[in-house]
Amino acid sequence: MYVITVFTSIGGFLFGYDTGVVSGSILFIETEYNLSSFEIELFVSIAVAGAIVGSIISGPVSDKLGRKKSISFSAILFVGGSIVLGFAPKYSALIVGRFIVGFAIGVAANVVPLYIAEISPAKYRGSLVTINNLCITSGQFISYLVASGFSHVNEGWRYTLGLAAIPALIMFFGMVFIVPESPRWLYLMGQEDEAISILKRIRNTDDVEEEVQEIKESRVSSGMSQFKSILYDRVIRRALLIGCSLQFFQQFCGINTVMYYSASIIKMAGINDNSKAVWFSTAVAGANAVFTVVSLFLIDRVGRRKLLLSTMIGMIAGLLFLGLAFFFSYRDPKSTGIFAIVSLVLYVAFFATGMGPIPWAVNSEIYPSNFRGIGCGIATTVNWSANLVVSFTFLSYVNAVTPSGAFWTYAGIGIVAWVVIYFILPETKGKSIEQIQQSFSNKSTPTHTPSHPSTQLE
């Protein structure tokens, strides 16, 4: 289980690395190609656009071809995109390379957590999916370090961007030779013997009868088309409401203003030295990775709902303090700069423990088997579209309402998010994927899995 999780989570690492790497390499690319601000924005945003397209197609593709082939496909794209970036002879090749890498990120962001959830035992599912998030945050942190390491090398940005091909190759070979197809997907495709034999292998026991029974009873199609079931099937509608709201709020709490612009935020707060600002932003990314480990230990013990609602309070406080730091920065820039950094770390630490991993974990477990690819794909598309809106309005929004106004806006959205999540998110800790769906179709949460799948329509 752990070996499989680690190989597939390289997809998470590349998601983090390729999103984090922009801030460290763009300064050098800008100088080399003499880029206008539109060209810089295009370089940054084309990957997010690629991720949106990748996440849209990832649902149908992972349902049709399977989880394993979809993740292997994203690995090939990561290799290809990184090579194009590393050897790019001109700016237009960089744009093509970033789009390919973004596309791969969109596919991996959706299919990797979904696959891990499908092969995990209920008891450890949250932690195993959170390993993928740990890889995202470590990827972001390592990309900052690699970018600083190559900052004194001639055309060092080529190495920074191109080196991502190495983990992508390892992932590809791991996917082809080590990682098996998801037994749940095989079952859905009618390949029962293959599914059972894989389940025995990954559980390291022949006693898989109970789990096979659960998979058999897993709620499948009501006979409606996927589009119709979005409109009329209560379980699917409820799952989509929860999944998309979590992904929407994850982004509208402003996390990627910090991940993409932390050095600029630190400079805005009065720390004028460039290298100090980069160093502090690396520390913020480090805190993000460290606190994801805390989440790894808590998610299956405390539960998704409790952990998310409690850490959101710290996250909102961090945003309010950050706004305060900017509010007072005009009076005493030096000490408010430090206050801003402490608030940033506070915000990121609470985000990494709750709002970072939990939307991914919950999405991977709430959809019925035959809707999981599509459901996670829709929610992942919401995530990337919201990311695009927030990260590319950030600088102009700061100009319009000041930095304090911007961070207080994200804090306000955080408060709305807390209330919405309080009302819509049930606890899914320790339940099998099948029991979660069952609890959605009943008004009250059942204590057992029924022996016949039911489909409730409205």
Beta carbon of residue 255, minimum distance to ligand BGC (angstroms, whole number): 5
CB-based closest residue to ligand BGC: 356
Yes or no: say if 137 and 259 are a contact pair by the CB < 8 Å rule.
no
Residues 284-313: x where in contact with ligand BGC by CB under 6 A, - otherwise, as a string: ----x-------------------------
Residues 120-149: x where in contact with ligand BGC by CB under 6 A, - otherwise, as a string: -------------x--xx--x---------
Beta carbon of residue 13, minimum distance to ligand BGC (angstroms, whole number): 12
Beta carbon of residue 137, minimum distance to ligand BGC (angstroms, whole number): 5
Q: Which stretch binds ligand BGC (CB under 6 A): 198-206, 251-259, 310-318, 324-332?
A: 251-259
Distance CA 141, CA 379 (A): 25
- The nearer residue to ligand BGC, 172 or 350, going by C-beta atoms, is 350
Cα torsion 392, 394, 399, 402 to 10°: value is 170
- The nearer residue to ligand BGC, 318 or 453, going by C-beta atoms, is 318
Yes or no: say if 109 and 15 are a contact pair by the CB < 8 Å rule.
yes
Enter the DSSP assignment of 182: P
Distance CA 197, CA 206 (A): 9
Yes or no: say if 219 and 441 are a contact pair by the CB < 8 Å rule.
yes
Beta carbon of residue 290, minimum distance to ligand BGC (angstroms, whole number): 12
Distance CA 136, CA 161 (A): 16
DSSP bridge pairs for 457: 233
- The nearer residue to ligand BGC, 48 or 202, going by C-beta atoms, is 48
**Footprint of ligand BGC on residues 364-383 (CB under 6 A)?**
383
Block residue for tokens 């480090």 = 286
The sign of the torsion formed by the CA atoms of 325, 330, 334, 337 equals positive
Residues 380-409: x where in contact with ligand BGC by CB under 6 A, - otherwise, as a string: ---x---x----------------------
Count of residues making up the chain: 458
What is residue 457's three-state secondary structure?
strand
Beta carbon of residue 344, minimum distance to ligand BGC (angstroms, whole number): 13
Closest residue by Cα to residue 14 from 136, 131, 129: 136
Beta carbon of residue 59, minimum distance to ligand BGC (angstroms, whole number): 17
Yes or no: say if 350 and 311 are a contact pair by the CB < 8 Å rule.
yes
How many residues bind ligand BGC, per CB under 6 A? Answer: 13
Residue 356 binds ligand BGC, judged by CB under 6 A: yes
Give the number of other Cβ atoms within 10 Å of residue 368's Cβ.
Answer: 26
Beta carbon of residue 347, minimum distance to ligand BGC (angstroms, whole number): 12
Beta carbon of residue 273, minimum distance to ligand BGC (angstroms, whole number): 25
Q: Can you point out the beta strands (E) in 244-341?
A: none
Write out the residues near ligand BGC by the rule CB under 6 A. Answer: 19, 133, 136-137, 140, 250, 255-256, 259, 288, 356, 383, 387
